[in-house]
Amino acid sequence: MLEARGITVEFRRRGGETFRALDNVSLKAADGMITGLVGESGSGKTTLVRTICGLQKPSSGEVLIDGRDAGEAYAAARRGGGLPVSMVFQDASGALDPRQTALDAVAEALRVHGLAPRPRIRDEAARLLSTVGLPADVAGRRPGAMSGGQCQRVCIARAIAPRPAVLIGDEPVSALDVSVQARILKLFAKLLAERANGLRAILMITHDLAVVSAICDYVYVLERGRIVEHGVPSEMFAAPRHAYTRRLLQAASFKYDPANPV
């Protein structure tokens, strides 16, 4: 399980004053669960993810993987284990190299992390592409010849290649058509259910409450750097306790229907 404990991140702004982007944020992404993190633009979602991935040093607080400091887990990963966490981003086609085929993109991730013996890399990459639901004929295509949904599937295959314990999606479906969004969300749920490539938990960052309602088992609400509410989505959306959660629900095009929970 992934745990962030009391994370505070402060940025120094021009003029010297400090800006607190995260204020004592704690959350858990438990094994077997899809945990959601929702909040408006600027609430600190990406800052938290960057901290979890070790790209941003917190002013205080710690990130733990299975109770151990995440830094140790990253060091172990460099010695050849799987990665503790891996990311999928919003802009799938932009995240891929336009000159690389789908197979090459996944093969490269395997090579970089040294997670498959050289002669096995292409077979392993093909297996991962099939795991994310891509037909064999897509393997040889470049991003320009793939749909947005197919590009995102390649990004997901590439993200699970280094055998992450936790897969973090930062708005991974918000750039896709609604019908494609549903299929990609189902893919996330399927990968977790199958423990694909050792996957144990998913952290889903989104501003879209419909995404949370569709697949999250638990959700945290972040407002201006603070967690203001957390709970099981169906319960929270039926009776939001915090004014900010109510505002998010009112602003959402999605309406939670207790008679028809997803």
Ligand X SMILES: Nc1ncnc2c1ncn2[C@@H]1O[C@H](COP(=O)(O)OP(=O)(O)OP(=O)(O)O)[C@@H](O)[C@H]1O
- Chain contacts with Mg ion (rule: CB under 5 A): 45-46
**Residue 159 binding: pick among Mg ion, ligand X, none (C-beta 5-8 Å cut-off by kind):** none
Binding at 55: pick from Mg ion, ligand X, none (beta carbon under 5-8 Å per type) = none
Residue 75 found at the interface with ligand X (CB under 6 A): no
Residue 260 sits in the site that holds ligand X (CB under 6 A) = no
Cβ partners under 8 Å of residue 45, min gap 6? 37, 39, 170, 205, 222
Q: Is 42 in the site for ligand X (CB under 6 A)?
A: yes
Rounded to 10 degrees, what is the CA torsion of 120, 121, 123, 124? Answer: 110
Whole-angstrom Cα distance, residue 258 to residue 262?
9
Give the per-residue contact string, 207-226, with ligand X (x = CB under 6 A; - = no).
x-------------------
- The string of DSSP codes covering 128-148 is HHHHTT--GGGTT--GGGS-H
Q: How far is the CB of 195 from ligand X (least distance, A)?
A: 29
- Is residue 45 close enough to count as binding ligand X by CB under 6 A? yes
21 makes contact, choosing from ligand X, Mg ion, none, with CB < 5 to 8 Å by partner type, with ligand X
46 binds ligand X (CB under 6 A): yes
User: Cα–Cα distance between 192 and 86 in angstroms, integer?
Assistant: 14
Q: Which residue's CB is nearer to ligand X, number 47 or number 213?
A: 47
Contacts of residue 75, Cβ cutoff 8 Å, sequence gap at least 6: none
Which position has the token pair 């990406």?
46
The binding site for ligand X (CB under 6 A) comprises 11, 19, 21, 39, 41-47, 207
